[in-house]
Structure formats: structure tokens, C-alpha cells
Amino acid sequence: MQIGANVSGNTIDAMIASAKQLEEQGFAYTGMANIRGHDAITALALVGQATSTIELHTAVVPTYPRHPVVMAQQALTAQAASDGRFTLGIGLSHKVVIEDSYGLSYKRTASHMREYLSVVMPLLRGEPVAFEGDEYRVTAGLDAPDADPIPCVVAALGPVMLGIAGELADGTVTWMCGPKTHIGPRIREAATSAGRPEPRVMAALPMAITSDPDAARAMISEQLAVYPTLPAYRAMMDIEGADLAGDIAIVGDQETVDLELRRLEESGVTHFSGAVFEAEEGASARTLEFLAGRA
């Protein structure tokens, strides 16, 4: 299982400094979400110019606001800027964001993602695309000769989306999803049926090595209180038996954290990224040092 850690900081300079530190510590990859702050693809392109070995990934960029040709063009630029170290993670986001905030339709999510991947995947491989669907009708090609083909993973949790990701993409990337949900077998079955290579199963969870796990869980639950209210995450947390965000977090001493990481690996996770919390003084540094030792 490859080990990564999320880039930290809310300025470009801070993100670059964080990524450079993670690279020096030996992490396999780093990434960032695309929510209300900096554009993740652009930020990671800049990070790519300041680093040399660490892989970069988005987790995740919402599909609805960006035409798949635009998404591919941005991703190819980031790939060129990082000398082939970029992975594009995309997802549907949530109704509260796409419909209630952006004012876009959040209907027909499965068919939207299938059509989106049908357009974006050839472009990410450097191939032209000619596609006629209900939502997208695209005839296009992109010219980025200094960009290698880009892996693309999809935020997929349920059986339908996992089937689409396994059939058309290079894997899945999850958040707030533990070992009980059996994501790995579902997407691998879909990939095998479609004749696709072994998919990536990328997972991220909040975590902290701490002497007070209860306090850490309470802090994480408070800071991540929105996630149990979102239907997609609520469904996965119910499977895990978690009421609050802190209940799904990996917290405790090194032995406890190591055991939880092993459980994830045994469930089929191929890549794990820790969202590290400063649960007590020095917790972030201790947790990153521990993760770097497993990288």
C-alpha cells in the first residue's frame, strides 16, 4: 500500500512548502481537495514545478462545473508541469454544492459520470474524442506533446458508480470510507469484466497519533461536522457503524494506528492518504513521521 499525506496550508507558498517537506520525508504522493479554496489542478501544477519525485493528485475536482474538454486541458497542463507525476481525481460532489450553491442540475448522476468519462478519458490519453450522448456531444482533440497520459480516478462509493469507475476509469478515491465497505472487490470485478487493468483503490481518512483518542475524535467530529449530513458519506458511515466523523478517524497510539492501516490494506486499499490533525501539541509532526516510516 502506497502512503501519502494531504498537502497543507491555505496559500500557494504554504502548499509548496508542505509538498516539499512531504517529498523530503519520502511520501509516495500528496494531494488536495477542490472545495472553496484554491483551484486544486492549478495549485498542484505549481507544486509540480517545485518538486521532483512526489506524485500529485486531486481528491477531487467536481465534474459538473467543468466541461470534460476543459478538465482534460487543465489536467494535461498540470501533467506537463509536474513531469508526469499528476493523477486526476474527479467526482460528482453533492447536491448541496452543485444544485443549491452553483445552481446547476444534479440529476442523472450515473449517466452524467458515464458520459463525462467517455469524453475525458481519451483526451487524458492524448487521443481525440468523438462522442454523442444526451448531455455531451463532443468532437475534440488536445495538443499537449509534453504531457504523458494521465491516470484518472473517480470518487465512487455505491455499486453503480463503482461499476462505472471500474469499467471506464483507472480506479476510485474515497473519503470517510473504512474497511467494512468492501469497495475494492466491487471495482476490481467491474474492471476485470471490462478488460481493464488492476484499478487503484485510494482512501483518505482523518488521523492522529495521540495519547487522548477521545479528545481527538471529538475535535475531528467538530471540524468535519458537515460530512455525516451528506447522503453519500452518511451511507458509508452507516456501514462502518460511525455516527460522527471522529468515529471513522484513525486515532490512538502507533500500535493502534498501524493496526488500522493494516486493516485498510487487507480490505484492498492500494493507496492511503492521511488527513493529519493536530489533536494535541506535536500530534501532526508525530503522525507524519510515523506515516513516512511506512511510505
pLDDT the model gives residue 292: 94
Measured CA to CA, the distance from residue 208 to residue 112 in angstroms comes to 37
**How far does the chain reach from its first CA to its final CA, in angstroms?**
8
Q: What's the rounded mean pLDDT across residues 199-223?
A: 96
Measured CA to CA, the distance from residue 243 to residue 232 in angstroms comes to 14
Q: What's the rounded mean pLDDT across residues 83-106?
A: 95
- For residue 19, pLDDT over 90 is answered with yes
Measured CA to CA, the distance from residue 175 to residue 163 in angstroms comes to 18
pLDDT the model gives residue 229: 94
How high does pLDDT run on average in the chain?
95
**In the block, which residue shows the cell 469499467?**
167
Residue 72: closest CA among 94, 101, 41: 41
Side chain identity at 49, as an amino acid letter? Q
**Helices marked H in the chain:** 12-25, 40-50, 68-81, 95-98, 109-124, 159-168, 183-193, 213-223, 231-240, 245-248, 254-266, 283-294
Burial category of 277 from C-beta neighbours within 10 Å (exposed 0-12, middle 13-18, buried 19 and up) = buried
- For residue 183, pLDDT over 90 is answered with no
Q: What's the rounded mean pLDDT across residues 205-211?
A: 96
The full set of domains in the chain, from first to last, is 1-155 (3.20.20.30)
Q: What is the DSSP letter of 228?
A: G
Measured CA to CA, the distance from residue 59 to residue 45 in angstroms comes to 14
- What are 115-163's pLDDT values in tens digits? 999 999 999 999 999 999 999 999 999 999 999 999 999 999 889 999 9
Measured CA to CA, the distance from residue 103 to residue 90 in angstroms comes to 19
How many C-beta neighbours within 10 Å does residue 181 have? Answer: 20
Measured CA to CA, the distance from residue 141 to residue 233 in angstroms comes to 36
Measured CA to CA, the distance from residue 89 to residue 79 in angstroms comes to 13
pLDDT band at 164 (very low <50, low <70, confident <90, very high): very high
pTM across the whole model: 0.95
